[in-house]
Amino acid sequence: MTSFQLSDDHEDLRRVVAAFAREEIAPHAARWDAEHTFPVEVVRRMGELGLFGLSAPPEYGGAGDFTSLCVAIEELGRVDQSIGITLEAAVGLGINPIAGAGSAEQKQRWLPDLVAGRALAGFGLTEPEAGSDAGATRTRAVRDGDEWVIDGTKQFITNSGSVLTSLVTVTARTGERPDGRPELSAFIVPAGTPGFTVEPAYAKLGWHASDTHPLTFESVRVPADHLLGEQGKGFAQFLATLDDGRVAIAALALGCLRACRDLALEYAGQRQSFGGPIGRKQGVAFQLADLDVMVRSAHLLVYAAAAQRDAMTSDNPQQAREFKQAREFKQAAAVAKLYATESAVTATRVATQVFGGYGFMEEYPVARFYRDAKILEIGEGTSEIQRMIIARGLGLPVE
């Protein structure tokens, strides 16, 4: 495992984001959740703070440090999981596919606004019949002269229909590979392109202040230069993007874990029963001890994986070493995602239990964290898919 230590700069950033979350998000989080409001002005303020550019390439206005992004997502997620996922998806699913596979023109056209948080991009991989099995994509793109014509449906797409959304990237079949499997390519579809419809937002269990829509594409024409990366490389590009996203989701889960430990600890010291605080009972105290173990373990896994990611971007001319690094990072990302997200779900259950009946009331944040946590085990690869990746990384021929 890569050793790591968060630098003074990371801790300074943590203080800045924590103050922003405390002052500008915490007072409104319950209302945004209850009213299902996507808080556009706060997202713009996050842009002004530079949060969308933390890991983006410096030549497009970013700071190029993935660990910083994880710190920011963790601090936002400690207060409001919806705002945390808005940043996570905007970078991991919005900026990264273009920064990683885009042409110079595409980067120049789209990245400055995305990096500054003046615009958001969605990432359209999942379809009604293709989620974990994303290679089963049915959306098609057919070349017609200087254009591609796209037809299909995408589902559960984050940041895809907000007033700030400037584009979505989507995977589509562009042919058949020699082995008979579909050839998948990726395309940039600007918001407002005729035939591209953002359907009404979902009614979700949690993440109420995050923007999620089904999308339909009916004879959507985009210029040939909207192909993202090479034809036939769309699936591989998206899978590479997901490794970073998994660590970032683990950071979001770490924020949830810390919130649950801290809220439950405070309550356990105050709530009286049988003549004293409930925290003096081992039945409560030991559960809080377990939460602390989860927080510390998740912290180590998240920031060790983030440090590995940052090390991969430094100069490394030896291809073999790069490949080994990428493989080890894939494993570290899946382990961090699996552990942190499953722990977060457990932590919300424990925290709600410590709060007793009050934990079931929306006036206490633990109820919101309880609803918000479940999706962490599903999005950007379910727990089962993480276990599959980890087992394959161990050399097992898992199907």
Ligand X SMILES: Cc1cc2nc3c(=O)[nH]c(=O)nc-3n(C[C@H](O)[C@H](O)[C@H](O)COP(=O)(O)OP(=O)(O)OC[C@H]3O[C@@H](n4cnc5c(N)ncnc54)[C@H](O)[C@@H]3O)c2cc1C
Q: Which two tokens stand for residue 367?
A: 């109820």
Q: Which is nearer to ligand X, 132 or 273 (CB)?
A: 132
Residue 98 burial class via C-beta count within 10 angstroms: exposed 0-12, middle 13-18, buried 19 and up: buried
- Three-class SS state of 361: coil
Q: Which is nearer to ligand X, 56 or 125 (CB)?
A: 125
Q: Which is nearer to ligand X, 157 or 257 (CB)?
A: 157
In the complex, what is the shortest distance from the CB of residue 190 to ligand X, in angstroms, rounded to a whole number?
A: 17
Parallel/antiparallel/unpaired status of strands 227-228 and 165-176: unpaired
> How crowded is residue 192: how many other Cβ atoms within 10 Å of its Cβ?
10
In the complex, what is the shortest distance from the CB of residue 93 to ligand X, in angstroms, rounded to a whole number?
A: 5
Catalytic one of 48, 380, 384, 399: 380
Q: Please state, in angstroms and as integers, the Cα–Cα distance from residue 213 to each residue in 44, 67, 169, 207, 382, following that order.
A: 21, 29, 14, 13, 19
In the complex, what is the shortest distance from the CB of residue 151 to ligand X, in angstroms, rounded to a whole number?
A: 18
Q: Please state, in angstroms and as integers, the Cα–Cα distance from residue 51 to each residue in 117, 130, 383, following that order.
A: 8, 32, 28
The binding site for ligand X (CB under 6 A) comprises: 89, 93, 122-126, 131-132, 156-158, 204, 207, 212, 375, 378-382, 384-385, 388
Q: Which is nearer to ligand X, 123 or 303 (CB)?
A: 123
Q: Which is nearer to ligand X, 63 or 335 (CB)?
A: 335
Rounded to whole angstroms, the Cα distance separating 358 from 317 reads 57
Rounded to whole angstroms, the Cα distance separating 68 from 73 reads 9
Q: For the stretch 208-244, what's the b/e string if a residue is b when 16 or more beta carbons lie within 10 angstroms of its beta carbon?
A: bbbbbbbbbbeebbbeeebbbbeeebbbebbebbbbb
In the complex, what is the shortest distance from the CB of residue 157 to ligand X, in angstroms, rounded to a whole number?
A: 5
105 half-sphere exposure, CB direction, 13 A CA radius: 7
Q: Which is nearer to ligand X, 93 or 344 (CB)?
A: 93
Residue nearest ligand X, Cβ-based: 131
In the complex, what is the shortest distance from the CB of residue 189 to ligand X, in angstroms, rounded to a whole number?
A: 14
In the complex, what is the shortest distance from the CB of residue 97 to ligand X, in angstroms, rounded to a whole number?
A: 11
> How crowded is residue 342: how many other Cβ atoms within 10 Å of its Cβ?
18
In the complex, what is the shortest distance from the CB of residue 185 to ligand X, in angstroms, rounded to a whole number?
A: 15
DSSP for 282-323, written as a single string: HHHHHHHHHHHHHHHHHHHHHHHHHHHHHHHTS----HHHHH
| Cα four-point dihedral sign 291, 25, 117, 211 | positive
Q: Which is nearer to ligand X, 124 or 255 (CB)?
A: 124
Residue type, 374: K
Rounded to whole angstroms, the Cα distance separating 299 from 74 reads 10
| 176 assigned to active site | no
Catalytic residues: 380
